[in-house]
Structure 1
Amino acid sequence: MDHAPYDIGPDIDALRAALKAHEITLPSLGVDPLTLAGWTSRPPLVALGNCNTETARRLAEVLREAAGG
């Protein structure tokens, strides 16, 4: 990718857009604050967060379809 190694904002935006294309919203999607704090030399993690059971079922359905099943 063309962005800085620790700038995961574009990756989160891309994931959010891909989910939206399937009418899925993960309200807590963002950067994990503990890994962003710089306690490690690794890039920050993406926090997928919590979702309701309807969203979890829809996400599982989309992933199954994408996997060909």
Structure 2
Amino acid sequence: MPPQPTPYDTTLCVEELRAALAAHGITLPSLRVDLPSFAAEYRGPAGLIALGNCNTATARKLAEVLRKAAVR
């Protein structure tokens, strides 16, 4: 099982996703780290990104796909 992302990891992920979306002319003002996902006693997928509340791995995959599409 991979280690849970830290708030810093998740913040970097949000910035990667923001940059990848911007390369396609997309701005999402509400894109942010879902801080309550770090505060809960339940240790589910910590570090949710407030974009349909996807987890860090999903947000990173989305950013990667967007970056590759921008190169084309």
- TM-score between the two structures when normalised by the length of structure 1: 0.55
Greater relative contact order: 1 or 2 (C-alpha under 8 angstroms, separation 6 or more)?
Answer: 2
Identical counterparts, % of pairs: 50
Asked whether 1:9 is paired with 2:23, we answer no
The list of structure 1 runs, each at least 4 consecutive aligned residues, that deviate by more than 3 angstroms after superposition, is none
Structure 2 portions without partners, runs of 5+: 53-65
- The Cα shift of 1:40 comes to 2.8
Asked whether 1:32 is paired with 2:34, we answer yes
Q: Name whichever structure is richer in strand by fraction.
A: 1
What value does the CA root-mean-square deviation take over the aligned residues? 2.4
Aligned to 2:24: 22
Distance in structure 2 (CA, Å) of the matches to 1:40 and 1:14: 27
Distance in structure 2 (CA, Å) of the matches to 1:36 and 1:27: 21
Greater C-alpha radius of gyration: 1
Asked whether 1:48 is paired with 2:36, we answer no
How many positions carry a matched residue from both structures? 48
Q: Name whichever structure is richer in helix by fraction.
A: 2
- TM-score between the two structures when normalised by the length of structure 2: 0.53
- Would you say the 8 A contact 2:33–2:47 is kept in 1? yes
Structure 1 portions without partners, runs of 5+: 50-62
For the structure 1 residues 20 and 26, does the alpha-carbon distance in structure 2 shift closer, same or farther, using more than 3 Å as the test? same
